[in-house]
Structure 1
Amino acid sequence: MPELIQTYWPYLLIAFAIGLAVAWFAFMANRRTSVVSERKDVLDEGAERAQRNQALIDAPGGTATPATDPTSQGSPTGGDELTRIKGLGPKIAAKLGEMGVTRFEQIAAWDDAEIDRIDARLDRFQGRIRRDNWVAQAKLLAAGDEAGFVSEFGREG
Structure 2
Amino acid sequence: MLQSLESKQILLAGIVLVVAFVVWWVWGRSKPTPNKREYTDVLSEGAAPAARNNALIDAPSAAALVTPPPGVGTMAGVGEVVAAAAAEEIIEASPAPAPAAEATGDDLGRIKGVGPKLKALLTSLGITTYAQIAAWTDEDIAKIDAQLGTFAGRAKRDNWVEQAKLLASGDTAAYEAKFGKV
Give the alignment's TM-score, normalised by structure 1.
0.51
> Counterparts of 1:97 and 1:147 in 2: how far apart (Å)?
27
Q: Secondary structure at the match of 1:100?
A: coil
Cα drift, residue 67 of structure 1: 3.7
1:125 corresponds to 2:154: no
> Counterparts of 1:109 and 1:93 in 2: how far apart (Å)?
18
Cα drift, residue 139 of structure 1: 0.1
Structure 2 equivalent of residue 101 of structure 1: 127
1:149 corresponds to 2:175: yes
Structure 2 equivalent of residue 49 of structure 1: none
Cα drift, residue 78 of structure 1: 3.2
Counting matched residue pairs gives 84
Higher helix share: 2
Gaps of 5+ in 1: 1-65, 69-75
Structure 1 equivalent of residue 49 of structure 2: none
For 1:66-106, what per-residue CA distance to the aligned partner results, in whole angstroms no more than 9, with x for missing partners?
949xxxxxxx4531000000001111111111111000000
Structure 2 equivalent of residue 112 of structure 1: 138
Structure 1 equivalent of residue 106 of structure 2: 80
Structure 2 equivalent of residue 25 of structure 1: none
Q: Larger Rg: 1 or 2?
A: 2
Q: Secondary structure at the match of 1:91?
A: helix
RMSD of aligned Cα (Å)? 1.7
For 1:41-87, what per-residue CA distance to the aligned partner results, in whole angstroms no more than 9, with x for missing partners?
xxxxxxxxxxxxxxxxxxxxxxxxx949xxxxxxx453100000000
> Counterparts of 1:137 and 1:94 in 2: how far apart (Å)?
18
Q: Secondary structure at the match of 1:119?
A: helix
Letter in 2 for 1:151: A
Q: Secondary structure at the match of 2:104?
A: coil
> Counterparts of 2:121 and 2:103 in 1: how far apart (Å)?
13
Structure 2 equivalent of residue 90 of structure 1: 116
Gaps of 5+ in 2: 1-98
Distance change in 2, residues 1:151/1:145 (3 Å): same
Distance change in 2, residues 1:124/1:77 (3 Å): farther
Q: Secondary structure at the match of 1:124?
A: helix
Alignment of 1:16-35 (within 5 A): none
> Counterparts of 1:120 and 1:135 in 2: how far apart (Å)?
17
Letter in 1 for 2:156: R
